[in-house]
Structure 1
Amino acid sequence: MDAELKRCPFCEQANECGAEESGRCWCCSTPIPAGLLELLADSEQGKRCVCRQCVQAFQADSAAFERAFAAK
């Protein structure tokens, strides 16, 4: 997997995607909020996995997350 694909599109940290290595990723058992995915630019849709930390941060306070990352 390309190094850029292994980074979260929001925080740019490792997204820990396990799909390539094991065929299953942590996100297969974790609901990813639609509102979070809607914050992605069209060019990022379906390209890179969001990391677990960003999913949790969005779930904890979506407004704060959006203020921090929507402008990226």
Structure 2
Amino acid sequence: MFSAINWKGYNSNLLGVLVVDGEWTGQTLRVMANVFDYVVPIERINDLADTLYAYLNGDRSKLKWLIKFSINPIN
């Protein structure tokens, strides 16, 4: 999870996608949706393909989250 936040924080134009299959709790999916632009069940993969195609062709409206963070020294 931290790696995903880190990548998204340092690469603001990165489209974060998580494809899920099987049993996931609602709470876990909500947490994942705070990091990834899309949390998509495997059965919606065709919809995801359309979204990725548009993004790769320059449609930046597909980005849902912009995570900015910085680490500053205490002193």
Which entry has the higher C-alpha Rg, 1 or 2? Answer: 2
Q: Could you say which structure has the higher helix fraction? A: 1
Q: TM above 0.5, one fold?
A: no
Using the size of structure 2 for normalisation, the TM-score is 0.27
Q: Could you say which structure has the higher strand fraction? A: 2
Using the size of structure 1 for normalisation, the TM-score is 0.27
